[in-house]
Structures are given as C-alpha cells and as structure tokens.
Amino acid sequence: MDQLTFSEAEYQIKKRKTRREVFLERMDKLIPWKQLEKKVARHYPKGQNSRPPYPLSAMLRVHCMQLFYNLSDPAMEDALYEIESMRQFAGLKLDRLPDETTILKFRHRLEQKGLGKVLFKEVNKHLEKNGLMFREGSIVDATIIAAPSSTKNEQGERDPEMHQTRKGKQWHFGIKMHIAVDNTLGLIHSIDTTAANVHDIVPSGNLLHGEEQRVFGDAGYLGIHKRAEHKHRKTHLGS
C-alpha cells in the first residue's frame, strides 16, 4: 500500500466538498471511460522500458479536465500540481505527473487521428441511451484555447493551425472551441473547432442538431437567423 502524502491525507479528512469536487465526481460516473479507452488504445504508444507512458485512463481524464475548465497545456500541468481533486480524478500521484509537453502530445495525437469527434460521439451515445440528453433547447458559445505563441521550439515556428485574434483590448493566440449545450442539464451535445480568428457565428450550423425549439447565445451570434444554413429552422433565437 502506497504511503499517503500530506496533501492526500488532508484531502481525505476535509469536512465539505467543493463545487469542483462535486462536478468531477459527477463526470466520473457519467462518462463511459472504458468505452473511450477502447477507442484510443490502439493509437496510444506503448513506450519504452526505461520510460513507460502514463496510463491511458489518466491521460484521457487529464484531457477531459482541460476541456472542462478551458485550460492551456501549461495551466493544466500547474493545476495537477496544485489541486488534489484533479489528481484524484485522473488517478495520478504528486510524485509523477505529466508535464505540459506530454499533455500537448496526447492532445495532438487525438487530433491527428480524428479521435476527438469519435470520443465525443461515444459520450453522447451513452448519454442518450441512459436518457440524459434533452433536445428542446441549445445554448451556443465559443471559447479560446491558448497555445504557445513563441517560435523557440524544435520547428522554429508557431503552430500553423493556430491564429491570433483580439477580444476586447487583449490579443490571444490559439484555437477557438465552439460548443452547444442542452439548456436543461447543461450537457454538451456538439463541438466544433476553428482558428481563433474565425467569428463565432460561422460554425454555428455545425452546432445545432435541428430539433431545438429555442437557441440561446451572446452578442457574438447576432444575426444568426439571417444566415442561409438557419433559414429553414423554426427555432426561437434568444440571448
């Protein structure tokens, strides 16, 4: 039996759970982790004897937390070092945590193999099977996922899929994730990604499943009903 660290011991005797802990516990039960692992397993490297890879189950959970909380690769590494509930969720110990490069490589592997959409469809299929997905209304939004803007790397250049955009008075570099969630339970049912400089409204046609009676969005979606791909919809567009 492994000896508990001070952080783990303190975590076990806490008198109340934080909202993050409650949320992660719910995701732990809600997401079909074993099915997701089967989809990724054959694409996951076996590693070398001198340096075995992190368990696939841990990296999948780290990747999901990165999406849950909109964290860059360095921020995800920091969170694992700082937050015991995140380490517990991923099944990781403080003495061996993936760094930002490992997190980045895992994310890129999923992207290169087209596994992001595969995993997402698997989760949605599981939710629908268990009666946890409602389709009366959708909330659409977009968020920027930051990427390193430095060219001090092996290639000597920025990631060509990333772009720069301005939000308010601040400039950002990275990709933009467009999300639609069920307005009853807040469960994600559609995801699309674009370069950060693509307007929120452009991929909106990929987010709505067509059965909504109501669609909600912020000012970034003004005029959505005028676009050709939405003229056939009978939904009420609110804000």
Burial label for 37, CB within 10 Å (0-12, 13-18, 19+), is middle
Written as tens digits, the pLDDT of the chain (239 aa) is 466 565 666 656 667 888 899 989 988 988 889 999 999 998 888 765 556 789 999 999 999 998 888 788 999 999 999 999 999 999 999 989 999 999 999 988 988 888 888 887 888 788 777 766 556 677 888 888 777 665 555 555 666 667 778 777 777 788 888 888 877 656 677 888 888 888 888 888 888 877 777 778 888 788 777 778 777 665 555 55
pLDDT of residue 1: 46
Residue 13: the pLDDT is: 62
**What would the DSSP string read from start to end of the chain?**
-PPPPHHHHHHHT-SS--HHHHHHHHHHHHS-HHHHHHHHGGGS---BTTBPPPPHHHHHHHHHHHHHTT--HHHHHHHHHH-HHHHHHHT-BTTB---HHHHHHHHHHHHHTTHHHHHHHHHHHHHHHTT----SEEEEEEEEEE------SSSSS--TT-EEEEETTEEEEEEEEEEEEETTT--EEEEEEEETTS-TTGGGGGT--S--SEEE--GGGTTGGGSGGGTT---EEE-
pLDDT of residue 81: 95
